[in-house]
A and B are shown apart, each in its own frame.
Chain A
Amino acid sequence: MATNTDTATETAPSRRLRTRLERAFNGDLFVHVALAGAIALVALPLVLAVIMSTQSTTEVYEVTNLGLGSAGLSNYETALTEYNLTRYMINSAVMSVVIVVGKVSLSLLAALALVYYRFPFERAVFTFILLTLLVPVPVRIVPLFQLMADLGWANSLLSITGPYIASATAVFLFRQHFMSIPESLVENARLDGVGPLSFLVRVLIPMSRGMIAGVSVITFIYAWNQYLWPLIVVSDQSKQVVQVGIKFLQGASQSGLTQWGLIMAGAVIALLPPLAVLVALHRPLLETFAIQQK
């Protein structure tokens, strides 16, 4: 090793210290300690938020009070009822589920055509779909907003789901996956004269369960995270989604004091659904990402 030459000039004790440090660094214990420390640090803000969501406003204002508070679950109750978080949560859930179902269905159909049909300009159609990756919402936000107004969709479920139910990424992923399905299966279907839709339902979908689950998780988490677009296109508060809903919570105050315990409760509530989905379905998610990257 070239780098060993400079250790020769070091004094013996410092070299010994260095070796000892290096050995500790390369040991298993170091890995466990460092990893546990890093994970704890990353989780710390969330743990603090959960603790403080149980505190009353006076307790929160003590700053260093780290005990579970006297408010118990009442902050959660108030957020859900008085501050309408229940409504926002339902709106978010409906929006996310519609986007997931819509995106998966439309993309499966498109991928079926791209992989199993011979038709003119196949390559061009696929490129046409992929190029949409270049135009995220901020690039088309002004005309899209006007379009929603012209269609009469402002403040409706259609406006927060419609623009998201087709996706280049999902079409790409299903296309990749279909292409990896053994040709013999396709050949069998062809000889049996199976129609395209029953081929999709009976062969392709059962063979793509993992991929469908993975795309669904990615889409659900992405949809639940939406903030800018609902903020712009939904002006009727009762139709708003929960991410923007926690912004309304920030105005919550009691005799001049901001109710941070209540706000933390709202933040925890708004995090739970995507977190639950991730925990339950992280395996297909990881497999899908592995394919996306190739």
Chain B
Amino acid sequence: MLSTDTDVLKTAEAWRREGRGVAIATVVETWGSAPRPVGSHLVIDEETNFLGSVSGGCVEGAVITEALDVIADGKPRMLEFGIADETAWQVGLSCGGRIRVYVERVD
């Protein structure tokens, strides 16, 4: 079944209630042709299970890695992704867009 943003937040709640460490990543800003709209969510647990998407696959790997740190220390982070060769990130958006993603822990 396709995961929608509804499922994503329901899953985040369910995972947390099971006692897992959980982070939610949210697209808060986009420029150019971004693959997923502002407000899209990705939920990640401490074992890197995830549901949803913030970019349709381009930067999820990096978001998940950062999310593990957020789960560990509880500090929210703002991540920014642009096209690969213009940013310090190892990953980028091949479509040429730019996105900012807010990652926070569920406490």
- Decide if A and B are genuine partners: no
